[in-house]
Amino acid sequence: MNRKVSVAPMMDCTDRHERYFLRLISKNSLLYTEMVVDEAISRGDKKKLLEFNINEKPVALQLGGSSPKLLAEASKIGEDFGYDEINLNLGCPSKKVEKNKFGACLMKEPNLVADCLSKMQSSTKLPVTIKTRIGYDDVEDYENLHNFISILKSTGIKTFIIHARKAMLGKFTPKQNLNIPPLKYDYVYKLKKDFPEEEIIINGGITSIEEIKPHLEKTDGVMIGRAAYHTPYFLAEIEKEIFKNDDVPSRQDVIEQLIPYVKDELKKGTRLNQIMRHTLGLFHGQTGASYWKRYLSENMCVRDADVKKIDHIMDKIKFNNVDTSVGQSA
């Protein structure tokens, strides 16, 4: 599994439509689902929760939960649906998540997490990985992080994705937790030195190629979050600069390739806005970007969007200030 660059699991962002869209831009970045709760998989509509388009692969399923039994069952179900990796969320800091005992609050219970991971690995042949933070609340010393990773490593886990901020449980909103706690990249670098045989992936506040390259010199991979969602064509730059792949589509090509998928999904009952909302940032930084966002917002990102307008979207790109310069590589 190539984890040199991946796109983080993000609630309300990395659904199957977003992943299909991103895969049109990047052939090599590993994609992650939104977090799916183990109990929801156990009791809910598994197809609705887990089905995805094979063209999204490679794609990892992120699970949330703290029941060894339910997580093990969900891991096996994820394997049966065709995912390439199972990831356990140990980093989400929201109050709702903490109330239900999953996410970053589990850093307080490393032995429970170890039990969960052991059961998960026993239930699937897929690689099981974790995503966590460097600490929580007032617990932010490196020694505690080192001990936490050591306990999880003892279960056989090989890949650790580390968001280089601590989680402020119940004190900050999820948005504040993405910005206010300071980044401590040195903690992640030190983990790689202390665990040289393990795969250490760094995450948090990474927004440019100039930031990615030095991180890759000190860790095994970089996970991109909000930058991949708000400026998705950033992944094309990553394809060229990191994966050395010059065969990347233009922005215009991406939309042309997305249209058949949109039409197929509309036939299945998917609403137009559920797909097109993910494309708002495609032309970020290009001539006509503001027109593109305005046109989508007014015509395709509303609940009752006129599906016929999808047939005219390329004309809008070509003739309404979203000119041919938009279609060129960044």
Residue 96's Cβ-count burial label (10 Å; 0-12, 13-18, 19+) is: exposed
Distance CA 321, CA 217 (A): 41
- The answer to whether the beta carbons of residues 140 and 166 sit under 8 Å apart is yes
CA distance 7 to 274: 19
In the block, tokens 């339910």 appear at 70
User: Is 105 a known active-site residue?
Assistant: no
Give yes or no for a contact between 184 and 141, defined as CB atoms under 8 angstroms apart.
Answer: no
Catalytic residue, candidates 92, 105, 116, 301: 92
Query: CA-CA distances (angstroms) from residue 323 to 4, 50, 250?
Result: 33, 38, 12
Token digits of residue 61: 């399923």
Contact 139, 168 (CB under 8 A): no
Residue of 268, 239, 273 lying closest to 23 (CA atoms): 239
Distance CA 63, CA 87 (A): 6
Q: Which residues are catalytic?
A: 92
